Amino acid sequence: MKKSFSIGFSAMVLGLFLTSCNNDDNYNTVESVDRIKIDSVRIINDTMDVFTVQSIKTYSTYPSHCQGFYGYDYIHGDNLTRNVTAYKYITDGPCTQSSYTAASQINFSPQQKRTYTFKFWNGDNSWITKTIVVE
């Protein structure tokens, strides 16, 4: 009797453990990542001090709610030029097909006094160019 109680109790505990593990599939899988053009750029101060931080906001329009901001490709062209390309993720889930605009940001913290040029990819061979003077 003691042995059957022990086996039954162990089975019950194992059953509770297995049912408490929630294998919820209510998420969408990222199917791919692709470039998305940056429609506009907002730089609050075009002049800043060395070693300070400034947030640079970019705005992109996504064609559906199955897409969203994934990240930036931030390339130092030389000591003074930065080329910035935004990337979007595309999911496999059900979504509304209405377009929406979203903001993302880069934090810029210059280490030297110079004039920096930022080029933000705006589609095809087009770039939005912004300049920040660091004093």
Tell me which residue range forms the domain holding 58.
26-134
Cite the beta strand spans of the chain per DSSP E: 30-36, 40-43, 47-48, 54-62, 67-76, 81-91, 100-108, 115-121, 127-134
Q: What CATH number is given to the structural domain containing 123?
A: 2.60.40
102 domain-assigned:
yes
10-residue mean pLDDT series, the chain (135 residues): 47 46 65 96 97 97 94 89 96 87 96 96 97 97
Q: What per-residue confidence (pLDDT) applies to 28?
A: 79
130 domain-assigned:
yes
Q: What per-residue confidence (pLDDT) applies to 116?
A: 96
19 domain-assigned:
no
85 domain-assigned:
yes
116 domain-assigned:
yes
Q: What per-residue confidence (pLDDT) applies to 55?
A: 97
The domain tally of the chain equals 1
